Amino acid sequence: MSTGLEQLYQQIILDHAKARHGSPLREHDGVGRVGESHQLNPVCGDEITLRAGVADGAVTAVSWDGAGCAISMASASVLTDLVQGLPRDEVIGLVDSFREVMRSRGRIEADEEVLGDAAAFSGVSRFPARVKCAMLAWVALEESLLAANA
Amino acid sequence: MPVVDTPVTLTPSDAVLTDAEVHRIRNDFPILGTEVNGKPLIYLDSGATSQNPVSVLEAEQEFYEQRNAAVHRGSHSLAVDATDAYEDARAAVARFVGARTDELVWTSNATEGINLVAYAMSNASLGRGGEAARRFALGPGDRVVVTEMEHHANLIPWQELAARTGAELRFIPVADDGTLRLEEAAAVITPATKLVAFSHASNVLGTINPVARLVRLAQDVGALTLLDACQSVPHLPVDVKALDVDFLVFSGHKMLGPTGIGALYGRAELLNALPPFLTGGSMITTVTMERAEYLPSPNRFEAGTQRISQAIALGAAANYLAETGMERIEAWEETLGARLVRGLGAIEGIRVLGPDAGRPRIGLASFDVDGVHAHDVGQFLDDKGIAVRVGHHCAQPLHRRLGLTATTRASTYLYTTTDEVDAFLDAVALVRPFFGAHR
Ligand SMILES: Cc1ncc(COP(=O)(O)O)c(C=O)c1O
């Protein structure tokens, strides 16, 4: 197996793609203000609906429903583990860092201290056609947080 | 890139294509000798776009080097030369599909050909084209019929036309085995039907549709027919007169030609009554400040400076295919297609869409891999140098009908070898284990 493929599909990604932490979508009663976002990648039909609860400036809960490739589903699962309980502003910062890595065409290696398991997606940035897959859940989270604040 | 000596001249022959001859054919296609991700390219995406033989590449280059001038405008020698080459190409492509030269209109691609007819009908619905164009006019109570397996290119233009005119759009449903439900077709194609637009061969299922039966149903109610021949003209012998359709479209880039060129065939009598879609220079006889008179077909539909080098290159592509022999290409792809369908069907967790091997189908196969998304399948294959198409293949309603959002498609052409099909099948067998989907 060539290294390119294994860099892209690290074991942690394959595991999360199956485990799908945060799926299915839940109601999130009593966790504060709840925002929701639906994102679709028209190229391949990948789809996600994500809900985030925000209370006292912190992300209290995340859940989602999705259909898509291993990269997009694993990304949603990793994100769920990463952001729950964190201050909202910090989460926005994480989304920005993740996006920066994804857009770097392999030039920026993710900081594992900051992004945790999401650092495993660094390899995706070398495959421009797959960046959108990795970003889908993060964009949904960003929009959900905006909606929760509205 | 491989060294290409003299292009192989193929002698027309009735003999079936063999791997040995296909290897000779491959020498005509520079790109087929390249590597992808360190592996020899295995190109199984000809259904999306095909590769070009040297004769096509040279035709385009030679035009720019030796004859470049505007056609049908001006009278200097170069312009005459360019016009001759351009019209020779039209004659070659018309001959290739059994059309008269004045019945073949250049378009950018099949999509534009379909839109041309849809917008011309729209114009007729507004009264343009007068009495002669009345048969193209649509309004409330009229019906346009398509099928559930259409490419978006043969669906959305009709949705829009229906919305503009108040006509209704109905479809012939697809059965589970990937064929059209013909018993429903008779019920959908009513006397209110003005046009039946359908594909000759499905770009997803591979199904070859029973054109004669559908044309008969349409003719019985006086409806026009438009055939989307994108996946048939490149792969099997097509004769527009034998098919007896009113309009037919195809794209050059799927039949060894360049991008940016395609064609619309229409019966002369219809084309000459159809109001134009795009208007401007080169399509007129007399123009005053108030109005204009239009040329007959094909020029009537070719407003503005045309895709000259592409048309000439498409002419070369049609000649290459004709010299190789469309019957032989059809037979070769049938063998490859059956090998694909049977091979995929034998792999655990693979669901092949469309009719079984042996039923009327072209040399492609779309499939679903249980537990692995098509995008991941495509990525895995790409790593091995294998180019396939993943996604909904511009046929979302069909995928929805089959309970899927995305599939993987392998499509063959005259330059595909048996070994390539086998290498592809071997790679597909590794997909589920790699993604841990086999447990
Ligand atoms: C059946 C069918 N119809 C229409 C099209 C549209 O062709 P083009 O994009 O070249 O206009 C395609 C190709 O994608 C096709 O396979």
Q: Which domains does chain B have, with CATH numbers?
A: 19-49+325-435 (3.90.1150.10), 62-322 (3.40.640.10)
For residue B136, what pLDDT band results from cuts at 50, 70 and 90?
very high
The answer to whether residue A124 scores a pLDDT higher than 90 is yes
The domain tally of chain A equals 1
The span from the CA of B9 to the CA of B83, in Å, is 27
For residue B382, what pLDDT band results from cuts at 50, 70 and 90?
very high
The span from the CA of B438 to the CA of B418, in Å, is 27
The confidence score (pLDDT) of residue B12 equals: 53
Mean pLDDT over the full length of chain B: 95
For residue B11, what pLDDT band results from cuts at 50, 70 and 90?
low
The answer to whether residue B7 scores a pLDDT higher than 70 is no
Condensed to tens digits (0 to 9), the pLDDT of residues B356-365 reads 988 999 999 9
- Estimate the crossing angle of helix B308-324 against helix B77-96, to 10 degrees: 40
If you average pLDDT over residues B57-74, what whole number do you get?
A: 93
Percentage of chain B lying above the pLDDT 90 cut: 93
* Burial profile B229-264: b = 16 or more Cβ within 10 angstroms, e = fewer: bbbbbbbbbbebeebbbbbbbbbbbbbbbbebbbbb
If you average pLDDT over residues A92-113, what whole number do you get?
A: 93
Percentage of chain B lying above the pLDDT 70 cut: 96
Of the candidates B394, B398, B402, B425, the residue annotated as catalytic is B394
The confidence score (pLDDT) of residue B279 equals: 97
The confidence score (pLDDT) of residue B13 equals: 61
Condensed to tens digits (0 to 9), the pLDDT of residues B28-63 reads 999 999 999 899 999 999 999 999 999 999 999 999
The answer to whether residue A47 scores a pLDDT higher than 50 is yes
The answer to whether residue B331 scores a pLDDT higher than 70 is yes
CB contact under 8 A, A2 and B375: no
The CATH number linked to A67 is 3.90.1010.10
The span from the CA of B52 to the CA of B123, in Å, is 37
Q: Is B230 in the pocket of ligand 1 (CB under 6 A)?
A: yes
The answer to whether residue A1 scores a pLDDT higher than 60 is no
User: Of ligand 1's atoms, which has the minimum distance to the CA of residue B253?
Assistant: 10
- For residue A77, how many C-alpha atoms fall within 13 Å in the half-sphere facing its CB? 22
Condensed to tens digits (0 to 9), the pLDDT of residues B81-129 reads 999 999 999 999 999 999 999 999 999 999 999 999 999 999 999 999 9
CB contact under 8 A, A67 and B405: yes
The answer to whether residue B10 scores a pLDDT higher than 70 is no
The confidence score (pLDDT) of residue B215 equals: 98
For residue A26, what pLDDT band results from cuts at 50, 70 and 90?
very high
Mean pLDDT over the full length of chain A: 92
The confidence score (pLDDT) of residue B16 equals: 87
What SS3 state is found at B147? strand
pTM to 2 decimal places: 0.93
B230 classed as catalytic: no
Q: Residue written as tokens 């290159």? A: B313
Residue-number span of the structural domain to which A21 is assigned:
3-149
| Nearest 10 degrees: Cα torsion B25, B38, B258, B77 | -80
* Any A CB within 8 A of B88 CB: no
* Any B CB within 8 A of A146 CB: no
Protein residue whose Cα sits closest to atom 13 of ligand 1: B48
Residue B407 parent element (H or E):
strand B407-411
For residue A31, what pLDDT band results from cuts at 50, 70 and 90?
confident
Q: Is B228 in the pocket of ligand 1 (CB under 6 A)?
A: yes
For residue B1, what pLDDT band results from cuts at 50, 70 and 90?
very low
Question: How far away is chain A from the Cα of B173, in angstroms, using its nearest Cα?
Answer: 22
Touching A: B residues 1-60, CB under 8 Å? 37-38
For residue B237, what pLDDT band results from cuts at 50, 70 and 90?
very high
C-alpha of residue B198 to centroid of ligand 1, in Å: 12
The answer to whether residue B189 scores a pLDDT higher than 50 is yes
* Any A CB within 8 A of B375 CB: yes
The confidence score (pLDDT) of residue B439 equals: 56
Of B391, B434, B436, the CB nearest to A44: B391
The answer to whether residue B188 scores a pLDDT higher than 70 is yes
CA-angle at B121, arms to B165 and B233, nearest 5°:
125
The confidence score (pLDDT) of residue B14 equals: 66
